[in-house]
Amino acid sequence: MRGSGLPGPRKLAFMTKFEQPPVLLTGMSGGGLSSASKVLEDKGYYVAHNLPPQIIVELLQLCAQEDSPVSKVAVVTDVRTRMFPGSLIETIDKLTELGMAPTVLFMDARDDVLIRRFDSVRRTHPLQESETLKHGIRREREVIAPVRARADIIIDTTNLSVHDLRRAIEASFGSMDAEKQHVTVESFGFKHGSPRDADLIVDVRFLPNPYWVPELRAYRGTDKPVSDYVLGQPSAGEFIDKFMEMFDSMVAGYRHEGKDFITVGVGCTGGHHRSVAVSEEITRRLNAAGKVKASVLHRDIARD
C-alpha cells in the first residue's frame, strides 16, 4: 500500500464531529472492496455502498451533524456509479471545501489476478460489454485512473490473503493522528515478489541470513534470538542509522507533495527474518522520533 503518486489539494482541518476523516473506499472491481468494507465495519465504521457521487456529499453532511449517531463513516463506490451525474474527483474536492476531506482508500490487484477472481465466481465485469473480461478490466483502469492518482492509500491485494488485508487496513487506520503523516513499514520476501504499492523499497539481503544458522531457522524476526542476531550485525546498525537520516530528509518533501500516507517496503529473501527484524526496528525508531505515526506489517512472515 502507498500514498498517492501525484500531489493533491492540501486537506483542510477536519472540523466536524467525526472521530476520523471519512473514508472513500474505491478501486478495481475484484480488487477487494467487499473484504475491505467488512474490515472497516468491524472497526466501527458506518459503511454505505455504491452511492451516486452527489449523494455521498449529502450523506456525510448528515452524518456530521451534532445529533448524528455516526462518528466514523466510510462510503464504498466503484465504477458502476459512472452512470450518475458528477464524478468522484468532484466529490473529493467538494468534501475538501466543506472541511470534510476524505481519506481515499484504493484497492487494486494485477490484471491476471482480477481475471482469476472473476472466473472463480463466474461474474461479468461491469465494463466488459460484449467483449472479453480483459477488455473490461482495461476500460476500468482507464476510467478510474484519475481517482487512483488522488488516492491517499493504495492497497495491492495481489498477494494478500483476507487476513493479510485486514492487517494492512488496520496498520493504516488503527490509530490515526490527524496532525502526523502515517508510515507503514512492510516487510516482505523478494521470492514472493516486491510490493507494487510501496513508495520506497530497501533491500536488506546484504545482511547475514539467520536461515543458515540452524538454531535460528525456525524463529522469525519478531523473536528475540533472531532480532538480536540481525540487529547485532555492525552493518545493520550502520544501515538503519543512514536510512533514518535519509528518510527524515524525505518526510517534509512528502508532506509538501500532499502525501500523508507512506509505505516503506523492506525486503529480504523469504520475508521471515532480516526484513522483519529491520522493519520492527525502523518502526520503533520512527515512533520514538515522533515526527510521524508508524506501524509495521509483515506480509510474508507466515509463508513457506
> For residue 81, what are the β-bridge partners?
none
Q: How confident is the model over 270-290, as a mean pLDDT?
A: 97
- Cell representation of residue 90: 468532484
How many residues in total does the chain contain?
304
Beta-carbon count within 10 A of 233 CB: 15
Nearest alpha carbon to residue 94 among 56, 45, 64: 56
Closest Cα to residue 26, out of 13, 12, 16, 40? Answer: 40
Check pLDDT > 90 for residue 281: yes
Higher pLDDT, 81 or 185: 185
Task: Identify the pLDDT of residue 176.
Answer: 53
pLDDT surpasses 80 at 1: no
Mean pLDDT of 86-90: 83
The pLDDT of residue 85: 58
CA dihedral 196, 200, 203, 204 (to 10 degrees): -120
| Dist. CA 304–CA 302, nearest whole Å | 7
Q: Which helix (H) or strand (E) holds 96?
A: helix 88-97
Which residues are documented as binding site for GTP?
Answer: 78-81
User: Binding-site residues, please?
Assistant: 78-81
Q: What is the pLDDT of residue 261?
A: 85
What is the predicted pLDDT for the residue at 201?
A: 96
pLDDT band at 211 (very low <50, low <70, confident <90, very high): very high
pLDDT at 230: 98
Residue with cell 457521487: 53
**The pLDDT value given to residue 9:** 40
pLDDT, residue 119, reads: 83
Checking if the pLDDT of 254 tops 70, the result is yes
Closest residue by Cα to residue 105 from 171, 188, 55, 164: 171
Phi, psi for 183 (deg, rounded to 5):
-115, 125
Residue 11: predicted pLDDT: 41
Q: SS3 of 35, please?
A: helix
- 151 to 23, 57, 129: CA distances (angstroms): 11, 18, 27
What would the grid cell of residue 268 be?
529480504
Query: Hey, what domains does the chain have and what are their CATH numbers?
Result: 23-164 (3.40.50.300), 182-298 (no CATH)
Q: Name beta bridge partners: 107.
A: 27, 155
Q: What mean pLDDT comes out for the span 260-266?
A: 91
Average pLDDT over residues 176-198: 84
For residues 142-158, average pLDDT: 90
At 4 the pLDDT is: 40
Residue 3 has pLDDT above 90, yes or no: no
Among 16, 23, 13, 66, which residue's Cα sits nearest to residue 44? 23
Is residue 207's pLDDT more than 90?
yes
